């Protein structure tokens, strides 16, 4: 018999006032794994988390922990008996308790045992020196680490984290995220992390569950979700995208960048060819001529610069294609700021293009 996952959620559904906000959500999380629920505001991430925590009741669906039924429409193990740790954005430490007492809060057992667990955890989050301090004497990032130690102290089998890093400033956040990650991995806790930031999900997750309007639209490792999005919106959630529109004729789509295969699609189907700006290459114009086509990059297309901006590590250059005037953008490492009106040539990495038929908009072949 195979070992059941640490957390298994099946068919979880919840409506408010006739509107389904979590719609048939299923996934599982293994010990030592971090799964991110990623999606735009209001897509049902926190509601999903609250049902798993047991502070909200689902309309239907089941939750199992290590193969044991925790909750369905008949059974309901109370929140405190689920072996689930919680860490939310407003993680509020108890201001009147010392750091040690905050961390010991959920611990049972003898005083000496509790003290040694508290010391172990504070050492792990690198705050041993603050054991007798009070929360107000700690920085935001230090308080965050105490909250992590407190949540981990009773050795929960599952940790639910709802945007726990969003109250921290950028530079502090990166460090704390990485530290938190390694501690959770060492403890072997199964983690469900909610975020609406793709960078955070990519950085933290073993698996991403991409949510939209209450449903999981894609589930997979960050690399796969980023590099093989299920649809245009999934691609657009992770970065700006260029959309090149085409219409199918004889299983091919004609574009400024040459032909793209459209096998199995009927003539007249509109097709969106999606490419991220970092996969658009730029070459110089040589008296009206561009680089030669290659199998990797296809046919180059001439374009005119409409705007150039330096945005930190890279430059963002926007273009209008000669072909049909449509807009394209490309990112270039470092500083590259051609003037508006400059003619350049664009090439798109064929292997980096995603082709999505737009099934709702079939045109009559003309
Ligand atoms: N108790 C409630 N009563 C009525 N509607 C609710 C309730 N809780 C959540 N909702 C609605 O359900 C939807 C999903 O809310 P949820 O908090 O799960 O979103 P979220 O994905 O966590 O968003 P965010 O990223 O903004 O935190 C929202 O439209 C919200 O208004
Ligand atoms: Mg939320």
Average pLDDT over residues 243-267: 89
Please report which ligand is nearest the Cα atom of 14: 1
pLDDT-derived band at 1, boundaries 50, 70, 90: low
Residue spans of alpha helices (H) in the chain: 45-53, 99-104, 111-124, 140-152, 170-187, 198-204, 222-227, 232-238
pLDDT given at position 360: 55
Q: Please report the pLDDT score of residue 359 as a whole number.
A: 59
Mean pLDDT score of the chain: 91
| Cβ 37 under 6 angstroms from ligand 1 | no
CB of 187 closer than 8 Å to CB of 117: no
In angstroms, the Cα distances linking 63 to 12, 80, 254, 284, 355 are 8, 15, 49, 58, 37
Instruction: Kindly give the number of the ligand 1 atom that is closest to the alpha carbon of 49.
Output: 18
Query: pLDDT value at position 361?
Result: 43
CB of 21 sitting under 6 A from ligand 1: yes
| pLDDT tens-digit series, residues 276-296 | 999 999 999 999 899 999 888
pLDDT tens sequence across 5-37:
999 999 999 999 999 999 999 999 999 999 999
Does residue 363 carry a pLDDT above 50? no
Return d(Cα 66, Cα 143) in angstroms, integer.
31
pLDDT at position 339, please? 97
The pLDDT of residue 265: 85
- CATH dotted code for 239-362: 2.40.50.140
Is 196 a pocket residue for ligand 1 (Cβ < 6 Å)?
yes
Rounded to the nearest angstrom, the distance between the alpha carbon of 41 and the centre of ligand 1 is 8
Q: What pLDDT does 176 receive?
A: 81
Choice among 108-112, 173-177, 308-312, 344-348 with the minimum mean pLDDT: 173-177
The fraction of the chain above a pLDDT of 90, given in percent, is: 69
**Which CATH fold topology does 7-236 show?**
Rossmann fold (3.40.50)
Which residues of the chain are in CATH 2.40.50.140 domains? 239-362
Q: 140-161: per-residue pLDDT in tens?
A: 888 888 998 998 898 899 999 9
pLDDT, mean of residues 246-258: 90
Please compute the mean of the pLDDT values over residues 294-306 and round it to a whole number.
93
Pocket probe mutation, ligand 1, options 15, 21, 56, max atoms within 8 Å of Cβ? 21
| pLDDT reading at 91 higher than 90 | no
Residue 328: band (very low, low, confident or very high) from pLDDT cuts 50, 70, 90: very high
Exposure letters 289-327 (e unless 16+ CB within 10 A, then b):
ebeeeeeebbbbbbbbbeebeeeeebbbbbbebeeeeee
Q: In this model, does residue 364 exceed pLDDT 80?
A: no
Whether ligand 1 lies within 6 angstroms of the CB of 85 is answered as no
Say yes or no: CB of residue 175 within 6 Å of ligand 1. Answer: no
Are 300 and 291 in contact by the 8 Å Cβ rule? The answer is yes
Residue of 12, 46, 50, 193 best suited for mutating to test ligand 1, as the one with most atoms within 8 Å of CB: 46
Residue 42: CB within 6 Å of ligand 1?
yes
Domain(s) of CATH 3.40.50.300: residues in the chain: 7-236
């Amino acid at each position: 018999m195979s070992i059941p996952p640490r957390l298994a959620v099946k068919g979880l559904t919840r409506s408010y006032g006739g509107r389904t906000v979590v719609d048939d959500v299923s996934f599982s999380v293994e010990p030592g794994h971090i799964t991110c629920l990623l999606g735009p505001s209001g897509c049902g991430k926190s509601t999903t988390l609250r049902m798993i925590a047991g502070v909200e009741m689902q309309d239907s669906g089941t939750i199992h922990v290590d193969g044991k039924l925790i909750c369905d429409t008949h059974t309901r193990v109370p929140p405190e008996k689920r072996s689930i740790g919680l860490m939310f954005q407003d993680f509020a430490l108890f201001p009147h308790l010392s750091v040690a007492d905050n961390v010991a809060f959920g611990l049972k057992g003898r005083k000496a045992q509790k003290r040694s667990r508290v010391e172990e955890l504070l050492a792990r989050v690198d705050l041993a020196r603050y054991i007798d301090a009070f929360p107000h004497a700690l920085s935001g990032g230090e308080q965050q680490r105490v909250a992590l130690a407190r949540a981990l102290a009773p050795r929960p089998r599952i940790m639910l984290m709802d945007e726990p890093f969003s109250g921290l400033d950028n530079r502090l956040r990166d460090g704390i995220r990485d530290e938190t990650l390694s501690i959770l991995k060492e403890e072997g806790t199964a983690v469900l992390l909610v975020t609406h930031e793709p960078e955070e999900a990519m950085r933290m997750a073993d698996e991403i569950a991409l949510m939209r309007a209450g449903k999981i639209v894609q589930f997979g490792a960050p690399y796969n979700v980023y590099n093989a999005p299920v649809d245009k919106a999934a691609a657009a959630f992770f970065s700006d995208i260029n959309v090149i529109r085409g219409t199918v004729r004889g299983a091919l789509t004609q574009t400024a960048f040459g032909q793209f295969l459209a096998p199995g699609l009927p003539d007249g189907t509109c097709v969106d060819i999606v490419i991220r700006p970092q996969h658009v290459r730029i070459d110089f114009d040589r008296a009206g001529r561009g680089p030669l086509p290659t199998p990797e990059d296809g046919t180059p297309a001439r374009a005119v610069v409409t705007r150039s901006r330096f945005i930190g590590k890279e430059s963002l250059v926007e273009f209008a294609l000669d072909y049909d005037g449509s807009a394209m953008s490309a990112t270039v490492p470092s500083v590259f700021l051609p003037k508006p009106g400059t003619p350049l040539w664009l090439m798109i990495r064929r292997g980096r293009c995603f082709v999505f038929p737009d099934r709702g908009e079939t045109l009559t072949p003309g």
